[in-house]
Structure 1
Amino acid sequence: MGSRGTKPKPTALKVLHGDRSDRINDAEPMPPEGEIVPPGDLSDDARATWDRLAPSLIAVGVLTPWDVDAFVVVCEALARYKQATKLVNGSALLVQGPNGFVKNPALTVQREAESTFAQYGARFGLTPSDRTQLKVDVGGAAKGPGAERLLS
């Protein structure tokens, strides 16, 4: 399996770092502004996560209308993790299987939910190390044309 290399630097960082103009996409699509609402089919635990995290992510511009589906994955992954953890905590690491003891299947669900959260949560800066990779607009300035809008 070959190496994928590093992720591309976000356009806003290229502008900020003074990269050559031919390496800056000044026509990068920007999500429209608008109300960001949770989908009605979120599980109860996922909705609780949405209600806890979404307002602050929206406030700093990390969660936009285009990001709702990816954020739903984060919320549902945390819901599955919470449910699997309850099962593990109420049971044992090993459970009786048809041919003897086996690893509790809830551990697999828990691990998969952890992995999904790590992958998708990073996109929203949901851990301290993930946040080091994000730049957000804390000034609330109006967006300008071209790549300059990325710095406001």
Structure 2
Amino acid sequence: MGKRGPAAKPTALRILHGDRPDRINTNEPAPPEQEITCPDWASDAARAIWERLAPGLAARGVLTAWDTDAFLVLCEALARYRAATQLVNGSALLVQGGSGLMKNPALVVQADAERTFLQFAARFGLTPADRQAIKVEVGHDHLGHGPDRLLS
């Protein structure tokens, strides 16, 4: 099944962009304010990525307690990408297979991990193109939850 049009704009962006009030969900559920921790099933490599990226995202309200599993998928994908890249860098693009030369299987793992990372990175505004649509006021890291926090 293909895409059904552009992705829905988050409520926070609808408010910041001045969308019509009837298009803004003022009853959107808000995650509870609670400590955001890396799930215990994370690999060591993904945990290191989490520790590098999560604090900044959490401080800006982009990463919440409800987002931890999705964010861990991003971290695991980046960890797989790094591991596959190291394998490719340590060998050749073509390797000997059963019927001659074939594409290095690490390239497939690398490409799959890259696609997963970029898909999830977009959800957290981790690429320049995705960040350009997000506006955050510096110094307002501890605003309340819900769409009303954006109107004050």
| TM-score (norm. length: structure 2) | 0.89
Go from structure 1 to structure 2 and tell me whether the alpha carbon gap of 1:19 and 1:7 turns closer, same or farther (over 3 Å shift). same
Match of 2:144 in 1: 143
Match of 2:74 in 1: 74
Go from structure 1 to structure 2 and tell me whether the alpha carbon gap of 1:142 and 1:60 turns closer, same or farther (over 3 Å shift). closer
2-side partners of 1:81 and 1:141: how far apart?
Answer: 33
1:61-95 deviations in whole A, cap 9, x for unaligned?
Answer: 11100000000001000110011011111111000
1-side partners of 2:108 and 2:59: how far apart?
Answer: 35
Partners of 1:80 and 1:113 within 8 A in 2: yes
2-side partners of 1:59 and 1:16: how far apart?
Answer: 19
Match of 1:29 in 2: 29
Matched residue pairs, number?
151
Partners of 1:12 and 1:151 within 8 A in 2: no
Which amino acid is 2:99 matched to? Answer: N
2-side partners of 1:2 and 1:105: how far apart?
Answer: 28
Match of 1:116 in 2: 116
**SS at the partner of 1:42?**
coil
1-side partners of 2:104 and 2:143: how far apart?
Answer: 53
> Structure 2: any 5+ residue segments left out of the alignment?
none
Partners of 1:42 and 1:76 within 8 A in 2: yes
> Structure 1: any 5+ residue segments left out of the alignment?
none
Match of 1:128 in 2: 128
**SS at the partner of 1:129?**
helix
Q: Give the CA deviation at 1:21.
A: 2.4
Q: Give the CA deviation at 1:40.
A: 1.5
- Root-mean-square deviation (CA, aligned residues, Å) is 2.0
2-side partners of 1:79 and 1:7: how far apart?
Answer: 27
Q: Give the CA deviation at 1:116.
A: 0.3
